[in-house]
Structure 1
Amino acid sequence: MSRDHNIFKKLGIPGPKPLPLLGNFYQQISQGIFKFQVDMYNQYADSKVYGLFDAGTPMLYVRDLDMIRDICVKNFNSFVDHRTFDFPEPLDRMLTVIKGDAWKNVRATVSPAFSTVKLRRMFQYIIHNARCLAQNLREKQESGEPVELKHMVSCFTMDVIASTGFGAQINSLQNEENDFMKLSNRVMDRMKRIIFLTFFLPFLTKPLNKLGFGFLAKDEIDFFTSFVEEAMERRKEETEDGHSKRNDFLQLLMEADAESEDIPNDNMTQFEALELNKRSQRKPLTKSEIQAQAIIFLMAGFNTVSTVLSFTFFLLAQNPECCSRDLPYMDQVLNEAMRLYPPAFVIDRVCVEDTVVEKIHIPKGMNMVFPMYAIHHDPAIWVDPETFDPDRFSPEQKSDRHPYAHMPFGQYAIHHDPAIWVDPETFDPDRFSPEQKSDRHPYAHMPFGQGPRSCVGMRLALLEMKVALATILQEMTPVICSKTVLPLRLKFFQTEAEDGLWVKFTARKKS
């Protein structure tokens, strides 16, 4: 499949002409990833799909929401895998990386760790860290000191991950120099650069790993694997000594082999969940598989939650009237923030067998991409899509929109499609009111993906964000300040603000 620059022409699929060796890499570099995604999405508005090349690798972009739904759910078995990257051990066993039956086994084993009962066991850690964040912000508020939201929220998120994941209290809000936080920040910075290179030039992954410049350096892998292994050994000793079991992800992962049922998440139907269980003969996780899931729990949970939460506070600072609404409105605010600034701007799948979707032939091995950033900003889907309007996600408005029009963990282009969202660049939580939701394609907004390969940690992420928002907003309100930079500029390849997200917090006025 790689390096055949005529593949899309043979399939009758439109797309810009690729350059030798580079494919469409140069256009994406010169325009910036977000602008390029929206431009391509709009240029091929009359087609359900269009083809691009990451160097020599063909990438089939899907802009049709019904086709996205069929790929994620109806034809899931033909698109069960993610795109392949070369990861060193034990990262090659992460849930987001493994394929086929291996993925089905790990997914079926991990899913029960995020059931309602298990989340209740983790809640104590989340509320404790949310109160620590509130105390920290209270001190900033009293001194009048500006706050850079991504930095502050990242400390909170890391504390939640350490406690809910591993039962560790690292107190990053008080001590940013702890080893766990320092190494995690180093890993995230490194991964952003490496992911950029390997996303567009995947053939670099293997040589970069051999040279020690892969996704994680050897000392970073050793640190996290040793951390997890030591934690596992401590738990075994505690159990043997008669101590009560811990209530965190690692403990649940170690106990998961004894679970007798798979708990579907909110994006998976009962049929899909039963199908997943039926096809997977669940086997106990190996030590390396447990280590791999613990590492992805850290990496996936850290950046995604901190991104959404920091942008949500920033948007509320610009739209203070939203803070006076009732608690149920919080769901709409979060959805609208994820529509405007999805933490992952694309979602991918790989076709594992020749198949036909919406009368389009897709050959085995084809990489599929959903351009959700553009869909989230499409005025044909979202009224005034560049405006912040939480009422877009009211029950009324959601019912009129394709259910796959909103997938914040991917899909920048779809989220900004003016054919879906009126004035897509405007923050408007009312887009997600019941009235507006009913008018939109139900696939126009997929915060955590759809189908069996949707985000397994969705419920924990939402719980973490809602607890933090409710804890802070009941006593403080974010406001813009002298260090606030508007209009906001996104970094080239990341959903992060180029100039930071600066606000102040003021005491909430009692009504």
Structure 2
Amino acid sequence: MDTAIDSNNELKTRFPLTPQSTLGALVAIVRNPLDALPPSIFTEPLVFSKTAGEIKVYLADPALIHEALVKNADSLGKGDQVRRALGPALGQGLLTADGAHWKWQRQSVAGAFRHDKLLGLQPAMIAVAERTRDRWLENGQGTLDVGHEMMRTTFDIIVDTMMSGGHGIDVGKVETGISDFLRPTGWAFALGLVHAPEWLPYPGRSKAKAAVTFLRSSLQSVIEERRKSPDDRCDLVNMLLSASDLETDRTMTDAEIVDNLMTFITAGHETTALGLAWTFDLLSRNPDVERKVLSEIDKVTQGRPVTADDVSKLVYTRQVFSEAMRLYPPAPIITRTALEDFRLGEYLIPAGTVLIVPIYAVHHHASLWQDAEIFDPDRFTPEAAKARHRYAYMPFGAGPRVCIGNAFAVMEAVAILAVLLQKVRLAAIEPQTPKPVMKVTLRPDKTIRMKLVLR
């Protein structure tokens, strides 16, 4: 479609559309939403497409992403598709809420993620990683499901640091429950695209519903126990229990506290675990990089156990994790819906338009990254990072809604890598890295099994 200039505001109000089959898009979304991305978004700054009669705007230009998600943040909401897919589990927590309700919740938990608070959590992170290491050493050399191992480790960290132990939550059942909930989300997104009735059944829906019931009831038990026996622990649970809106003085209901605990457990442990699983796979296939990581850990620790003071000194190890998240961003797509008309570059975006920021495409974009498919941690030296546009790399999102736990996640990942790699190596078994598949988060299409080798 040719573009046209609006005579009143000189903004383009008609868009050059890339044709996209509705049926093809629906099938791709169910199987793997990454396959539904227009191929041109890996080379072009923005792409307009029309699917199921609705225009969608794909953004890969960092300047346009900044303009949309930062300058026009108030003009954008999460949208109906996100609510349909994630609302049953996350309710109106930080990830799914909009407007004033999102703002006061964010303010309520911000204190838990201050830098000084995170530094105080490092010993607990290291202790959990040491338990994983000791379990591996006790079992001896063999094969591991590294994804499962990292899920278990990061979940234990979330429970220990944010919930003061979690009152006996069943870690294995929680991990299974999260997977059961996320697995069929492609169906929820696809049916939302064509505005199908929300009651419509689809494969995996019953299992997902049962998983949500289990997960939310488990967290409700934690809250009830804490209300029954209050204490002065400075953890996320107590922060949520005592939170109040500065403008209205209202406090959170139990359901709202569960919403936010669910958000932090699903988003807070799974994304880091996936980033670590991809990192171990990449290290095993890049021995030169692996040697540099092992050398740095040995140099910083001098052979003694990893301490909290070591984590900030492991600069190259952090670069490795950052590059793994570039290649495999845990949250590979951001969607927003325009709440009102707003200007984006030379275009007037009408209310109701869905904007898609395909972080996976941005991180692999030909104009932003040289040899984008190559694993190269030197992209994240301080000098290289300064030379790059802030929104060319955004594994934790962007703008006011950037992930509140981003510093927690990176600190946690570096601590885990240091503790484990000090004593063991993980060697790839499969000849190739698994294919990434989006199920809200970016998961491998098959289990990453690796061989444990003692150092």
Question: TM-score, normalising length from structure 2?
Answer: 0.82
CA contact (8 A) 1:479 1:505 kept: yes
Residue 426 of structure 2 aligns to a residue whose secondary structure is strand
Relative to 1, partners in 2 of residues 1:120 and 1:97: Cα closer, same or farther, differing over 3 Å?
same
Identify, as 1 or 2, the structure richer in helix. 2
Relative to 1, partners in 2 of residues 1:154 and 1:42: Cα closer, same or farther, differing over 3 Å?
closer
User: AA paired with 1:126?
Assistant: M
CA contact (8 A) 1:23 1:53 kept: no
Deviation string, structure 1 residues 371-423 (Cα, Å, up to 9, x no partner): 22122112322222111111101111122221111xxxxxxxxxxxxxxxxxx
Aligned positions, number: 424
Q: 2:173 aligns with which of 172, 182, 190?
A: 182
Relative to 1, partners in 2 of residues 1:56 and 1:127: Cα closer, same or farther, differing over 3 Å?
farther
1:34 aligns with 2:1: no
Q: CA deviation at 1:496?
A: 2.5
Corresponding position of 2:224: 233
RMSD value over aligned CA atoms?
3.3
Q: CA deviation at 1:33?
A: 4.1
Relative to 1, partners in 2 of residues 1:69 and 1:191: Cα closer, same or farther, differing over 3 Å?
same
Give the unaligned 5+ runs of structure 2.
5-11, 297-313
Corresponding position of 2:310: none
Corresponding position of 2:104: 105
Q: 1:79 aligns with which of 76, 81, 101?
A: 76
1:321 aligns with 2:316: no
Q: CA deviation at 1:7?
A: 12
CA contact (8 A) 2:18 2:50 kept: no
Q: 1:400 aligns with which of 387, 397, 410?
A: 387
The 1-side partners of 2:171 and 2:144 are apart by 22
Deviation string, structure 1 residues 415-439 (Cα, Å, up to 9, x no partner): xxxxxxxxxxxxxxxxxxxxxxxxx
Deviation string, structure 1 residues 203-235 (Cα, Å, up to 9, x no partner): 347214899937942x54443343333322332
1:294 aligns with 2:261: yes
The 1-side partners of 2:30 and 2:173 are apart by 30
Deviation string, structure 1 residues 11-69 (Cα, Å, up to 9, x no partner): 432333244x6473356679x643553623147x2xx4222345454321112210101
Q: 1:484 aligns with which of 401, 419, 430?
A: 430
The 1-side partners of 2:266 and 2:203 are apart by 22
1:198 aligns with 2:168: no
User: AA paired with 1:488?
Assistant: P
Relative to 1, partners in 2 of residues 1:464 and 1:27: Cα closer, same or farther, differing over 3 Å?
closer
1:124-143 residue pairs with structure 2 within 5 A? Answer: 124-140=123-139, 143=140
CA contact (8 A) 1:113 1:256 kept: no
Residue 370 of structure 2 aligns to a residue whose secondary structure is coil
Relative to 1, partners in 2 of residues 1:16 and 1:28: Cα closer, same or farther, differing over 3 Å?
farther
Corresponding position of 1:438: none
User: AA paired with 1:160?
Assistant: I
1:344 aligns with 2:331: yes
Deviation string, structure 1 residues 352-377 (Cα, Å, up to 9, x no partner): 11111212110112111112212211
The 2-side partners of 1:170 and 1:392 are apart by 42
CA contact (8 A) 2:94 2:105 kept: yes
The 2-side partners of 1:484 and 1:18 are apart by 35
Q: 2:370 aligns with which of 378, 383, 394?
A: 383
Corresponding position of 1:414: none
Corresponding position of 1:306: 273
Deviation string, structure 1 residues 319-353 (Cα, Å, up to 9, x no partner): 22232453211221111000011112111222111
Q: CA deviation at 1:302?
A: 3.1
Question: TM-score, normalising length from structure 1?
Answer: 0.74
Q: CA deviation at 1:281?
A: 5.8
User: AA paired with 2:141?
Assistant: G
Give the unaligned 5+ runs of structure 1.
172-177, 261-279, 406-444
The 2-side partners of 1:92 and 1:57 are apart by 26
Deviation string, structure 1 residues 235-294 (Cα, Å, up to 9, x no partner): 23433xxxx533432123223449x9xxxxxxxxxxxxxxxxxxx766422222111101
Residue 451 of structure 2 aligns to a residue whose secondary structure is strand
